[in-house]
Structure 1
Amino acid sequence: MSVEPPGRRERKKAQVRRALAEAAQRLFLERGYDQVSVKEIADAVDISGPTVFKHVPDGKEALMFDDGVERRESLLSAVRERPAGVSVMAALRDFMAGRGPFVADPTPEARRLTELIVNTPALRDYSRKLWIRCEEPLAEAIAAGLGRDPDDLTARAVARYVLEIPQFLSDEPDPRAALDAVFDLLEHGVEGAP
């Protein structure tokens, strides 16, 4: 079964959405999130303010993020497609280590974007919202990876804790060391964590 390529209308919508995201990112980095209005972003792309919300109904903060599908799918893939012999927790640790403030050697642009998100409450809250949307499918993937029932309480708790990590640790002086400490706790418990 072949997948039909997106039609002209869908391509145009994606193009406008991309242009809005690029304009918003540029303006936010230049002047700060709170100093940029939706009208300014719309003007930069030559569309009306109300049209912005047709493309991004979640508001101005959503312009910095995709719809969360890539995040969810890559998170689930990290658990489901982990190499043989790699634990669920090790796969989740590796996945998180490659995101935002936990990246060991980010590019200057990635560092600026991460700092913008971490230091802007509206963006930080929206990012958390995208992470939390992954809770149910992640809990199911963790349960499957552990050979447990899909509604297993332990798997649900681990999913919740893991998805709170970006919000909880992003402003730590050494986010990567904090990430490792939390995963050591999750993997080994309070008594077994180094």
Structure 2
Amino acid sequence: MSEPGLRERKKQRMYRVVSDIAVRLFLEKGFDAVSVAEVAAAAEISKPTLFRYFPAKEDLVLHRIADHEGEAARVVRAAQEPPVAALRRHFLEGLDREDPVTGLNGHPDVLAFHALLYGTPSLVARAHGHQERSEAALADALGGDLDARLAAGQIMAVLRVLALENWRRIAAGEAVAQVRPDAVAAARRAFGRLAEAMPPHLRDRAPADTR
């Protein structure tokens, strides 16, 4: 894959800068207390320009997790092992490196961001769309039939619940080192049960389509 050109790099930089400014304001004052006009002024751009990049106010926050949309599908498509095994390995590797998406991260900025995300109803609702698109992409990677859609729903639910449990414990004051063994054990147990529940053609084979 070729490197993005200058124009695309500038566009991505704009996304990142404006999102960072917005998140900082939301953390300082609260999501509902900050207007889009205030974000645009802080970023030194016009409201129409801001809306060209972020169609909804919630997108200013969700840009932080946009890269993870479809991640499970990408893992499955790239793997040379059964889908559940590949996703289990990927999640456990995420725990090892304290990837924020696993919930096992105690950095104050990460905890504050998750508190903003999970504590704001409109953001939770918008994030549900992110979850649905990720689930649909995973179902397609698993074959696209009813079995694949059922499997994708179960897998995405497990990923979400595992991450939420880790974040809630750390947000409540537990240290990452204290949560880690339970997080690893819970992930192994959950993915083991997932594997048992999968139809044989999803449990035992590596994906044929590695687009």
Question: Normalising by structure 1, what TM-score?
Answer: 0.71
- For 1:64, the equivalent position in structure 2 comes to 61
Distance 1:180-1:24 versus aligned 2 partners, 3 A rule: farther
State how far apart, in whole Å, the 1-side matches of 2:45 and 2:66 are: 26
* Letter matched to residue 80 of structure 1: R
Contact 1:118 1:170 survives alignment (8 Å): no
Distance 1:181 1:30, change over 3 A: farther
Match of residue 88 from structure 1: 83
Partner of 2:200: none
What is the deviation of 1:169? 6.2
CA 17–3 in structure 1, closer or farther in 2 if over 3 Å, else same: closer
Contact 1:139–1:158 (8 Å) recurs in 2: yes
**1:151 to 1:19, Cα distance in 2 relative to 1, 3 A:** closer
Give the equivalent residue in structure 2 for 1:163: 156
Letter of the 1:27 counterpart = L
The offset of 1:77, in angstroms, is 3.0
Q: How far apart, in 2, do the equivalents of 1:56 and 1:164 lie?
A: 27
1:97-138 deviations in Å (ceiling 9; x for gaps): 636463334422212212221111222222221121123331
Q: Distance in 2 between matches of 1:4 and 1:112?
A: 31
1:80 Cα deviation from its structure 2 partner: 2.7
Aligned-partner Cα distance in 1 for 2:5–2:33 = 39
Cα distance change, pair 22–103 in 1 and its aligned pair in 2 (3 A):
same
Instruction: State how far apart, in whole Å, the 2-side matches of 1:35 and 1:139 are.
Output: 38
Structure 1 166/75 Cα, relative in aligned 2: closer, same or farther at 3 Å? closer
Structure-2 residue corresponding to 1:146 = none
Larger RCO, structures 1/2 (Cα 8 Å, 6+ apart):
2
Q: Percent identity?
A: 33
Bigger CA drift: 38-47 or 119-128? 119-128
Report how far residue 32 of structure 1 moved: 1.7
The equivalent residue for 1:153 is 146
Deviates more, 1:17-26 or 1:98-107: 98-107
**Number of residue-to-residue matches in the alignment:** 177
Displacement after TM superposition at 1:141 (Å): 2.0
Hey, what does 1:20 align to over in structure 2? Answer: 18
The alignment's C-alpha RMSD in Å is 3.2
Amino acid at match of 1:187: A
Flag the 1:138–1:36 CA change in 2: closer, same or farther, 3 A: same
Q: Secondary structure at the match of 1:90?
A: helix
2:76–2:87 Cα contact (<8 Å) kept: yes
CA deviations over 1:2-51 (Å, ceiling 9, x no partner): 667233xx444333322210111111111221221111111111122232
